[in-house]
Amino acid sequence: MRGRRHVVAVAVTDGAPTFELAVPCEVFGTDRSDIVAPWYELRLCAAEPGPIRTSAGLRLDTCYGLDDLVDADTVVVAASSRRVQTTPPQPLVDAVRTAHERGRRIVALCNGIYVLAAAGLLDGRRATTHWMNGLDLADRYPSIGYDPAVLYVGDDTVFTSAGTGASIDLCLHLVRHDHGSAVANEVARRMVVPPHREGGQAQHSRPLTPLPEDSGLGTVLDWARERLHEPLTVALLAREAHVSERTLARRFRETLGVTPLRWILQERIRLAQELLETTDEPVESIARRTGFGTPANFRHHFGRLTSTSPRAYRNHFRSGSPGHVPCGSAPEPG
């Protein structure tokens, strides 16, 4: 995205929740040209006439409207009040549909998904929203493949996120897609939030089995991340957690939504992505440092999880090319 700024337009309706509106402002609207130049250009676009206030009463004065929304590179539909959920404003629905037809990237945060659904952008697609809205969304729009177990999901053209905090996850994911993991990680570090959260919103919609203080997964995950270059097995992780392999596997499923071996694979791929972006190390060296052993094994797993090769991935982020690099939601559990 070198040359000109990537414009991110956020559609705002009256009564919008303040937090979900603040997230894209923080991620895309804060000048971070010291990390990557040019950084994004954020435009808050009034999606309704008259004064617009957030749910907390903050008034939004902006010179941007729906015409500016359609012309942006990325269109973000922020969360809205229940009024907008049940009856999305037709001008906003039309603008989002037009933007999609023009090839813009469309993003819904939390219940902003209702606008995308009304525009017909999610028919036959996998999508997500806050778990409290899941049944209502599925009832209103049965053609959507609602997935309650993910924080966000997308296919390069249309993205949706779960509630509140998941808005941060999706916005950081878009930065990761545009500029790479190293840049997204630095943004997350400055925001003092995790660069990537494992698991899905399902863990927040029901009580979790508490973990003993001396065998919490947090300690085990940190231990494993420091040893990704070593052979890691479920037995080793279970021993470090002081639990049986069966108990460890159950806790991984309940807390992270994946098996221990799948989690290790995901972490190794993320480390490999950062090394490909930030170093000139040959593939042979990265394969060893990430625990894949041989370049052939590394290429196989990297291609399977990212749908691209290590060389193509490196060329994309080292050259700053705006070309397509496959992304999407976090890898499927397994």
* pLDDT (average), residues 10-29: 94
Architecture of the domain spanning 7-191: 3-Layer(aba) Sandwich (3.40)
Tokens of 295: 């370049």
Whether 73 and 96 have beta carbons less than 8 Å apart is answered as no
Checking if the pLDDT of 266 tops 80, the result is yes
State residue 94's pLDDT score: 97
Closest among 316, 262, 319, 311 to 287, alpha carbons compared: 311
199, 251, 283, 292, 298 from 302: Cα distances, Å: 20, 26, 11, 10, 6
Confidence of residue 329 (pLDDT cuts 50, 70, 90): very low
Predicted local confidence at residue 212, as pLDDT? 38
C-beta separation of 260 from 252 below 8 A: yes
Averaged pLDDT score across all residues of the chain? 85
What percent of the chain clears pLDDT 70, i.e. is strictly above it? 88
- Superfamily for domain range 208-334: Homeodomain-like (1.10.10.60)
Domain extent listing, the chain:
7-191, 208-334
Quote the pLDDT of residue 213: 47
pLDDT at 278 > cutoff 90? no
End-to-end CA distance of the chain, in Å?
34
Tens of pLDDT, residue by residue over 143-185, are 999 888 788 999 879 999 998 889 999 999 999 999 998 899 8
Specify the pTM.
0.68
Query: What is the DSSP pairing of strand 158-161 with strand 105-108?
Result: parallel
Distance CA 289, CA 229 (A): 5
Question: 51 falls in which pLDDT band (50, 70, 90)?
Answer: confident
pLDDT above 50 (res 293):
yes
> Predicted confidence band at 251 (pLDDT cuts at 50, 70, 90)?
confident
- Compute the distance between CA of residue 169 and CA of residue 164 in angstroms, rounded to an integer: 10
Contacts (Cβ under 8 Å, ≥6 apart) of 134: 146, 148
- Comparison of pLDDT for 290 and 308, the residue scoring more: 290
Which pLDDT band holds residue 198 (cuts at 50, 70, 90)? low
* Rounded mean pLDDT, 114-125: 96
Nearest to 304 by CA among 332, 271, 275: 332
d(CA 118, CA 112): 10
